[in-house]
Every structure is written in structure tokens, then in C-alpha cells.
Structure 1
Amino acid sequence: MSATSTVESAETGDAAATTGAAGGDLSDKQHQILAYLREHAAEQTYFKSRLIAEELGLSAKEVGANMSAVVDAAADIDVEKWGYSSGTTWMVTQ
């Protein structure tokens, strides 16, 4: 993560999006996924990896591979792996 994006995150007060639970920085893909979940958590609870991927221009495999870091970094929402039928589903609550 660049110093500029760290400063921008600090200025917006979005500390949860800048670091994971272990203190590591999130990648751009992880930031995208976390922002998407935060934006849509109020209107829906269940998210399929493939649908998140379609919205963000990623593959479902990329979403799944990055979700553990997103789960650790999401202080303001709860993200839980929920189901596997026809792809992985994530339950997201505020």
C-alpha cells in the first residue's frame, strides 16, 4: 500500500480497511471486496463469491482466496463462510 492511500484512509477514518487483524496491509483486491461488502451489507445478507467477482471484475477463486484477510480486517461488519451449494456463500451482518 502506498503512503498516499494510507494517508487517505487515515483522513477518512477508515482504519479497519487499512490493516488486517495481524497488522498486515490489505491488497487492492481485498480493499475492493471489503468496500463492496460494506456498501451492500445493509441491503442484503448473503453474498456468493461468483456474484461478488462479477461485480468487481475478479474471478470467484480470487474472491475466495482473499476473503480470509477481508474477514480479519472487517471490524464494522461480520463476515462468515456460510454455504457451498453452487459456489461459496458468505453471510455478512452489520
Structure 2
Amino acid sequence: MIDSISLAKFNDKQQRIVAHLYSRLDGKVYFKSRQIAAELGLSPKEVGANMAGIQERDEDLNLIIEKWGRSKSVTWKVTAAESDSAAS
């Protein structure tokens, strides 16, 4: 789960994207930029630019975000990271 402290370092669009990812995350999920864009009222380009920013600072979100592929839209692989306590 995310908290306001974790989200404080992200801009409004990034916060919306993170909330969207968490609402659909179940282990490992693939998201297309254009699908996220359509659901959040953003352009795919905005989603891609903001996903890159989220990816750079994802350590506090317990997410692993990878740019996975390109076809007609960039695909992002999002995985719930194991917490330190679960890994021990």
C-alpha cells in the first residue's frame, strides 16, 4: 500500500498514475501507456514521460517498474516488490 509520504515526491500526474497502478496490481501486471492514458485522461506521451519519472524513484513504492516493450504503445511491466521482512 502507498502512503502520502511516499507520494509526496511525485507530481500530480505521477500520483494519479501510481494510484492507478496500485488499484490494478496483483503480483505482476503489464500496462500499456495508451490504456493508462485513456483511463486517466492523459496522452500516452504524458504517461510515458511520467512513468520514467516514477521508475527513477520507485524504491519507496515497493514496486518494480520496467519498460517492457514497444508495439503501438509502450508496455510497462509492474511487479509488487517483496518487502524486506518477507524476504528475510
TM-score tier (shorter): 0.7 to 0.9
Q: Which amino acid aligns with 1:81?
A: K
Q: Is the 8 A contact 1:17 1:73 kept in 2?
A: no
* Divergent runs of 4+, >6 A: none
- The structure with the largest strand share of the pair is 2
Deviation string 1:44-88 (CA, Å, 9 cap, x unpaired) is: 610000000001000001101111211133331111000001110
Match of 1:54 in 2: 38
How many equivalent residue pairs? 77
User: Residues 43, 27 of structure 1: CA spacing in aligned structure 2 closer, same or farther, 3 A cutoff?
Assistant: same
User: Residues 73, 39 of structure 1: CA spacing in aligned structure 2 closer, same or farther, 3 A cutoff?
Assistant: farther
Match of 1:84 in 2: 70
User: Residues 13, 51 of structure 1: CA spacing in aligned structure 2 closer, same or farther, 3 A cutoff?
Assistant: closer
Correspondences of 1:12-91 after superposition (within 5 Å): 13-19=3-9, 26-42=10-26, 45-74=29-58, 75-91=61-77
User: Residues 37, 58 of structure 1: CA spacing in aligned structure 2 closer, same or farther, 3 A cutoff?
Assistant: same
**Residue 73 of structure 2 aligns to a residue in which SS?**
coil
Match of 1:4 in 2: none
**Residue 76 of structure 2 aligns to a residue in which SS?**
strand
Q: Which runs of 5+ in 2 are unaligned?
A: 81-88
Q: Which runs of 5+ in 1 are unaligned?
A: 1-11, 20-25
TM-score if structure 2 supplies the norm length? 0.77
Q: CA RMSD in A?
A: 1.8
TM-score if structure 1 supplies the norm length? 0.73
CA distance in 2, matches of 1:77, 1:53: 20
Identity of matched residues, %: 44
